Structure formats: C-alpha cells, structure tokens
Amino acid sequence: CSRTVFSRLQFRELSGLGVPLLATLTVLVFKNLQRLPENKLRLYQMFIDLLLGGWNLAKGLQRSSVYKSNLKMIVLTRLAGMVHAQKTRECTELNLAATLRQVAPALVLELQAVVGELVEDGVLLPTGRSSYTFPHISFQEYLAAKDAIDPSRQEDRRVVQSYLAGDDWYKEVATFVVSMTTSPLTMRNWVVDLAKPFATPGRLSDSEKRAAYLIARLAEMFPECRSTPIRG
C-alpha cells in the first residue's frame, strides 16, 4: 500500500512540542538513515529501537547492553499496557516485577539490573518518588497499542471501544492500534462497525465522529481508506 511521506512540517511539530527528546531522536534517526521515516508509527518504532539498542544520545555512540533489545521490548510493551490500563503515567517496581513474572519470569530475581538498564537506555525515567515514567506519554501510548494487538491479550477491541465511547485517555493508543494494521480496509470496516451501536438518527453521533477521526488517521497511511463515508 502507498504510504505518506513524513514531512518537514511533522518534524517541526515534534520539535515544537516542548519535548527535546523527541526532536533529538528524530535528528538521530535522520543522521543514521539520511531520511525520515514515512509515517509517525515507523518513527516511534525507530525511536524505541535506538534507545533499546543502547544509543548514548549525548555522544551519538552505541554502548554495550546486558539484555537483548527484543527482550526489553517485550517487557516494556507489557508494562505500558498494564500501566495505561490503570490510567496512570507512573509505574512502581511492583508493576515492573509483575511484568517480569508475566513475560520474563527468569528475570524476576534480576529486577534491579533490568530496571537499571532500562533507565540507562532512557526508556524509563526515575520520578524521585520511587516510581518511573516513560520519557514521554506518547512512548507509553505506542507501546500500549503494541500490547493491545498482542493475540494473547486481544485488548485492541476494548481500547478502540473505550475511545469511541468517549474516553480520550485511549485516543492516541487507539490511533496507534488502527495504524498498526496489516489489512487497512478490514480495519476501516471494523472501526465503523464498533461505532454503529452508538449511532443516532439524522446526525453523526460522537462515536461516529471519533470513528471518522480514526479512519482519517488510517487514511494518512493507507489512502484507499478515504473512499467511503462513515454512513453509506
């Protein structure tokens, strides 16, 4: 499917959000690839890959890691899903221990070492309150979306329904969920169907407007999804 180009305007938007880390990571991605990714989803994939790969952003150097990046990704994905479901931006070591018990039980006794490396990677930041956050809420939302589409959890329906029902806490997670599809037309129809129970005679319901928003984001990546309105 055709993809839109990640534009300079989008880069300026990232840089202007008051989030230096996002701008720094975007520049680092560009320096490594000599181009920017084709869309926001791919950009966040690269952000996480760079951080988990041990990049020292200040020096532009890669350092050694004890734990493999794919293992750390599994841990962070489940952690983000758990934390976002609790509607908080902070996690404790109890959350981290519970995450390890679910996805990497062999590492439970290495909790401090795992947390230490995730902090060193820059994917978790100490708050000073015996808790941690992701470096930006968008990292949590991206990873929570990855957790939601995991076939073993099947949380994607709940996430999208929550947003369609009016819960904006799930807005960006739902946006990432629909963007992660490998079957855009099926995804479009699925979102429309989820909004139907909230339909009102004569005008678009709030849920249908929210569905239209998700479909618009989907169409930015997959133009073929633009063809038909929410109501035929």
Contacts of residue 175, Cβ cutoff 8 Å, sequence gap at least 6: 214, 217
Q: Whose CA is closest to 159, among 91, 84, 219?
A: 84
Q: Are 22 and 136 in contact (CB under 8 A)?
A: yes
Q: Is the pTM of this model over 0.85?
A: no
Distance (Å, rounded) from C-alpha 53 to C-alpha 64? 8
Please report the pLDDT score of residue 220 as a whole number: 86
Please report the pLDDT score of residue 9 as a whole number: 44
**Backbone φ/ψ region at 132: left (φ over 0), alpha (ψ -120 to 50), beta:** beta
Question: What are the backbone angles phi and psi of residue 35, rounded to the nearest 5°?
Answer: -160, 165
Question: Would you call 200 exposed, middle or buried from its count of C-beta atoms within 10 A (0-12, 13-18, 19+)?
Answer: exposed
pLDDT in tens, the chain (232 residues): 434 444 454 555 444 444 566 666 677 666 666 666 667 788 788 778 878 876 655 556 667 788 999 999 999 999 999 999 999 999 999 999 999 999 999 999 999 999 999 998 889 999 988 899 998 899 999 999 999 999 888 899 999 999 999 999 999 999 999 999 999 999 999 999 999 887 778 788 899 999 999 999 999 888 877 655 555 5
Q: Are 142 and 76 in contact (CB under 8 A)?
A: no
